[in-house]
A and B are shown apart, each in its own frame.
Chain A
Amino acid sequence: MLTTYLRAAGCDDTLLDDVWQETMIVAWRKLDEFDRSKPFGPWLRGIAARTLMAGRRAASRVVLTDDAEALEYLNQRLERINHLSGDTLDEKLDALRDCVSKLTTSDRECIELRFRDDLMPAAISERVDVALETIKKRLFRAKQQLQLCLERKLQAN
């Protein structure tokens, strides 16, 4: 979940590596301070957020009025994901995979090319030979449907 959090905060691979490592080292040093009656994930993400802010390296994508607030919002969103059924993050993500499987074929293809193959919309447009605007609309619609589907699953838990 920490990796997901750092990615959501806008870290590229290099920054993610640095912050992830620093977070783990700090967590190891401060393990005695951790209140075992509370969940561990938010505590760890709190360390990651402080690491990000201390280095003034808050992600470029999260350009908001208050980075701390944005990071806390991300933290809360991920903590909700943590309540999905499943012992592992991978099992929890089955809920999202199920949502993807319910998309139309063309929307699912766009999502796969964007997030599995890491292609930008223009590259997807070239790959499937469909107008860029159409690709953007498909991605927008697919993400909206995935948000709604995931939200339903979260509420059902």
Chain B
Amino acid sequence: MVAVRDLTKRFGPVLAVDALSFTLDAGSIAGFLGPNGAGKTTTLRLLLGLARPTSGEALVFGRRYRELPNPTRRVGALLESGDFDPGRSGRNHLRALAIASGIDTQRVDELLDLVELDRAAHRPAGDYSLGMRQRLGLAAALLGEPELLILDEPANGLDAAGVHWLRGFLRQFAATGGSVLVSSHLLAEVAQSVDRALIIKRGRLVATVAMDQLPDRGSLEQLYLELTGMDES
């Protein structure tokens, strides 16, 4: 579903992503882990066609994102930045996206119910709390009933109940054949829900860890700290 090969992105002198390769199969949840600035968000932007790789390739369903015919039907994405016009209501934010991809507005209301924003849907998104924005972003990602979810730090701003809900949601999504690539710099929230952890540091993949091969979920933290080291500055 996702194939990243020798992906490299350079911003001037900075090598943000350095010959990164990994794949993601159907029905699995992969955690994309690394310290802040490790290149997680850049990799996801390359995968989603927002930025162009310096070299290498990042494919979804065997193609570059920009070549997917109706991408919202295949890939749902939530980016870290929380992208809403503060003056537009949550419902209208979703409707504008639904109209552009030919999705029925009834689906918008279904999703507002699902992420429990139905009562706040008429309010400007600028008034939303961080958690509400994340839920609105998740609703946007789910609009086209995609097979693949790409989520950048989705648990940011969610309260404990929200994180719990998100985990359950992702599990169920994967159980019905969907795949998830979820980035995080927080281990605890990821360790409990992923099948596989991709650990990156300074733009390079330093380890791929199958969770069922670890003695227990807690040992991911140990491994992560060993691999990413404490020498981050």
Q: Do A and B come from the same complex?
A: no
Which A residues are closer than 8 A to B by beta carbons?
A: none
Interface residues, chain B, with chain A CB atoms under 8 Å away: none
